[in-house]
Amino acid sequence: MQRYKHYKTIDFLSDDDFIDWVQSPQSASDLYWQEVLVLFPLLEPYASEARRLLLNMKIKPLNRDAAGLKETIIAAAWQSPGLVELPKFFVIPKFTSWIAAALVLMVLGYWIWKVPTYRSTKLAVASLDGAGSKQVKNTADIALLVALPDESTVVLQPEASLTYCVDSFMSKREVQLVGNAFFDVSKRMQAPFIVHTDQLSSTVLGTSFFVDARPNIASHSVLVTSGAVRVKGKEKEGADAAHHDRGLVLQAGEETRLFGDRTWVAVPSAHALHLKEDLGKAFDFENSPMREVAEVLQAHYGVSVQIKDPLLEERPITAFLGNVSLQEKLSLIAKAVEAYYQLEDGIIIFTLNINQQ
C-alpha cells in the first residue's frame, strides 16, 4: 500500500480501483480503502475530494474512449451542485487523452477548495450542560487544528469531535474522541494524557500518535509516530478483564487495532516510521522562504496554513525542527521570521509583528 503514500486528488481520479470502489462499492473494497485511509490518514481530504467529484459527475474516466471525454467531464461538471465558475483566464486546451480530463477535474477541485463561499472551514464549539465540558467539532471538509490548554495540539479530521473538561484539564488531561485525529502531546510527567473512545483508551506522557475512532468502522486503532502509548480496551466482565487492565504498550513505529476477538496485537507500521523519517527530513530548513515552510506544514500535518503579508512569504528560515512538537514548530517558525501565529477556526495564520509591517 506504500504507493498511496503521496497520493493527491489527481492520483485518486486516475486510479481504476478507487473509481470502481466509488461507483460500485463492495464489502471487500470498503474494507480495503478503509485500511488505506487508516494507514495514511493525511490522504483523507484528497480521497474525499476525488470521491465527491466522481459522484457528482457520475462518469468513469478511465473506461471511456478518449474522444469526447473532455467535453463529457466539463458538461457534467457544470451540472454538478456547488461547482464554481472558472476564471476568465482559464483556457481549456485541445487534450486528446483521459489524463487531460483528470487534470481538468483537479483544477475544478482546486477552485472548489479555494472559494470560501462553497467550502465550510470552521470549528463548532459547545459547552455541555451541567458537565463543565467543552466539545469541539470539525464541521468543515478539511482537517483543522485544535490547541488544548496544555499546549498539546490535535489535528481533527472532518466530522471528528473532541470533548474535555476545561476547569480540571491541566491536572487531569483526558479527552473523549469521536472520529479520526492526530495528537501531538506536550510532556507533563505529573499528568498523563488520556484519549478515550467508545472502544479504547490511550495513555501517554508526551508523544505523537493517530487515533481512528470513526463511528462507521468496526474497530478502532492507534498508530504511534513518536514516544510510547499504552492502549487499553474498554473494561468487560469475564476472565479477560485483568488482561485488558494491563493494556498494551506501543512504541514508535507500531500500531494496533481492536479486533473482533478483543485481542490486542502490536504490529510494525511502515507508515509511522516513514512519517517520523519524513518529518526529520522535511523540517530541516536552510535559508528557505516562509511560503515553502507553510507548504511543508500543510503537507505533513494536513492543516491549512495562511500567510497574511506578501513580505512575510519571502522571509528566509534556517532551522531543524524535525524533533519538536507542532506547537513548538509554530512558535519557533514565528520567532524566526519576526511574526506571530494564531488559530482561527482551526486554520494556522502567520502575521508580521506590528513593528515589522
Is the separation of the CB atoms in 231 and 244 below 8 Å? Answer: no
> For the residues 94-120, what does the mean pLDDT come to?
42
CATH of the structural domain 123-270, one choice from 3.40.50.2030, 3.40.50.720, 3.40.1440.10, 2.60.120.1440: 2.60.120.1440
| Residue of 213, 303, 201, 300 whose CA lies nearest to 247 | 201
Q: How confident is the model at residue 29 (pLDDT cuts 50, 70, 90)?
A: confident
CATH class of residue range 283-356: alpha beta
pLDDT band at 16 (very low <50, low <70, confident <90, very high): confident
Does the pLDDT value for residue 328 go beyond 70? yes
pLDDT of 259 reads 61
**Does the pLDDT at position 308 exceed 50?**
yes
How far apart CA 317 and CA 293 sit, in angstroms, is 8
Instruction: Please say whether the beta carbons of 175 and 316 come within 8 A.
Output: no
CA dihedral 345, 346, 347, 353 (to 10 degrees): 80
Residue 337 DSSP label: T
Q: Which residues pair with 123 in a beta bridge?
A: 138
pLDDT at 271: 66
Q: Which three cell numbers stand for residue 89?
A: 483566464
d(CA 309, CA 324): 26
The residues, ordered by sequence, that sit 6+ positions from 174 with a Cβ below 8 Å of its Cβ are 164, 165, 193, 194, 195, 196
Nearest to 228, CA basis, from 200, 282, 266: 266
CA pair distance 228, 38, nearest whole angstrom: 19
pTM reported for the whole predicted model: 0.62
Provide the residue ranges of all domains of the chain, joining segments of one domain with +: 2-118, 123-270, 283-356
The mean per-residue pLDDT over the stretch 154-170 comes to 92
Q: What does the pLDDT read at residue 80?
A: 41
| Cβ–Cβ under 8 Å, residues 106 and 13 | yes
Query: pLDDT grade, residue 356 (50/70/90)?
Result: low
Decide: residue 313, CB within 10 A, 0-12 exposed, 13-18 middle, 19+ buried.
Answer: middle
* Average pLDDT score, the chain: 76
Does residue 38 or residue 304 have the better pLDDT?
304
- Which three-class secondary structure state does DSSP give residue 218? coil
